[in-house]
Amino acid sequence: MERVFIFDTTLRDGEQTPGASLTVREKLEIARQLEKLGVDVIEAGFPATSPGDFEAVRRITQEVSVPVIAALARALPFDIERAGEALKKAKNGRVHTFIGTSPIHMKYQLNKSPQQVLQLARKAVKLAREYTSKVEFSPMDATRSDFVFLCEVIEAVINEGAGVINIPDTVGYSAPEEFGNLIQRIMEKVPGINETILSVHCHDDLGMATANSLAAVKKGARQIECAINGLGERAGNTSLEEVVMALKTRQDFFSFSTSIHTQQIYRTSRLVSRLTGIFVQPNKAIVGENAFRHESGIHQDGVLKKAATFEIMSPSSIGVKGEGLVLGKLSGRHAFKERLKELGFLLKDEELELAFGAFKELADKKKNIYDEDLVFIVEEKISEIPEVYTLDYIHTVTGNKILSTATVRVKKKGEMFQEAACGDGPVDAAYKAIDRITGIRLALVDYSIHSVTGGKDALGEVMIKVKGEGDLITGKGASTDIIEASAKAYINAINRLVYRQRNNK
């Protein structure tokens, strides 16, 4: 079967999801998992936008070797130079440059004529070629561009050395038949297009990103740009798990293959969800909690008799496994370390001690420790974000007929600070007490609770989004006590804000 290349933009376009800002360490962790997943290209970031993005791209090129590492750049010398510099030590680097080609983008965003845009596109590709032989070009908002001009720009950049031509449905405007026809017309009209890889990058504003991408493949596209869990600007990008499993499950119709190790899909989805703070909706195709659950009696009866009656793919095909008890309070360091290795965590000695201590604390509260619990322990304790503030103690008094109060003790640089406050519920009271201690006031934008595993003693994960310094910041906390988890999440968000201020990020 013919190959379709999978280009993952979770670390670039996916991070543009409001509130989904990632640290360099978190980006590295996701990049390593994307390598295990088997993606062909990782778009690691947009180096010109910030020192953090530049450093993330640079670090990923050093630590991830199999996939192509792409860096995004506008068709501007500064952007391309920064991208080229970030990719300097890449074994397999690609500069991905773009410029708007639709009338509305040229007039209102760029304030340039078509001929000026054409010249900028030429110069951008030519300059990018000075840094790497692998250059990708995107005519932004291609689906609303004049077709004749679009072809003129594509031909020009091919002549300058672009080896990948990406056709973006930037605002999710197109429909599958229409988008497929556009790809076919480009294949027919542009000289030299057959000597390049034709790519597509579809947004999901009308819910058709996956359908549009697959329609494009049927008409000649051989690279799909997508993101884990469909993350991205506005309604998001084409979902990686959806296009990959569609191609695999319906090989009879599409007759294409990918390099993706599909058993890594579920783990990758959960990792991205935890690190970005964006929950996966329960009814999300492929990776949602309900994707393999059956409520109807007719469905349950059919699945029990023959899974294929109502399941077109197996849970194991994407790496979904039943919960298995792995460790308990009597387990030692060696068993703990070996289990973390199996889960993909290779910790330094000091990191292992921190994680093991947290494991023992949890084991005193919770009889059965599952893989998901271990992952949260590691992610909470081994973080790039310095713990300027840490929660030491929390006590709340609440009820439906009394005013909720919270007493909170927080450690900062070895010194303890304690405050009490009243609020509309124990969480609000705790947050007000923390505000008094830190002197930092954040506006709570979103608050959600998620059970990591089953059972009455389940570890509860709280994810919040707060607004501080004009930006959305995600905070995460986990505990068997949801009030404690809520306080940890709020302090985590404060630590992230402090880290961002210190690093101008």
Residues 421, 344: one domain? Answer: no
Q: Looking at the structure, do residues 350 and 406 belong to the same domain, yes or no?
A: no
CA distance readout (Å), 128 to 77, 87, 113, 141: 9, 11, 23, 21
Residue 430 reports pLDDT greater than 60: yes
Residue 323 inside a domain? The answer is: no
Is 328 within the bounds of a domain? no
One domain for residues 177 and 209? yes
346 and 258, same structural domain? no
pTM: 0.85
Q: What is the CATH number of the domain that holds 454?
A: 3.30.160.270
Mean pLDDT over 465-492 rounds to 89
Structurally, the chain folds into a number of domains equal to 4
Dihedral of CA atoms 251, 253, 259, 262 in degrees, nearest 10, equals -60
Same domain, 192 and 308: no
Residues 173 and 251 in one domain: yes
Structural domain of residue 357, as residue ranges? 333-381
Render pLDDT for 235-262 as a digit per residue (tens, 0 to 9).
Answer: 999 999 999 999 999 999 999 999 999 9
Residues 28 and 177 in one domain: yes
Sign of CA dihedral 478, 479, 482, 484: negative
In this structure, the number of other CB atoms found within 10 A of the CB of residue 375 comes to 20
Whether the pLDDT of residue 283 is over 80: the answer is: yes
Given a cut of 50, whether residue 299 has pLDDT beyond it is no
Q: What CATH number is associated with residue 144?
A: 3.20.20.70
Q: Is residue 301 part of a domain?
A: yes
Q: Are 493 and 475 in contact (CB under 8 A)?
A: yes
User: Are 359 and 398 part of one and the same domain?
Assistant: no
Q: Are residues 373 and 448 in the same domain?
A: no
Residue 337 lies in a domain: yes
Same domain, 105 and 249: yes
Predicted pLDDT of residue 328: 75
* Residue 283 resides in a domain: no
The β-bridge relationship of strands 389-397 and 404-412 is: antiparallel
Shared domain check, 97 and 240: yes
191 & 69 share domain: yes
Nearest partner of 264 among 246, 245, 251, judged by Cα: 245
The model's pLDDT over 100-157, given as tens digits with 9 standing for 90+, comes to: 999 999 999 999 999 999 999 999 999 999 999 999 999 999 999 999 999 999 999 9
Asked if residue 286 is part of any domain, the answer here is no
Q: Is residue 327 part of a domain?
A: no
Residue 257, in any domain of the structure: yes
Residue 383 pLDDT level (bands cut at 50, 70, 90):
confident
- DSSP assigned state of 366: -
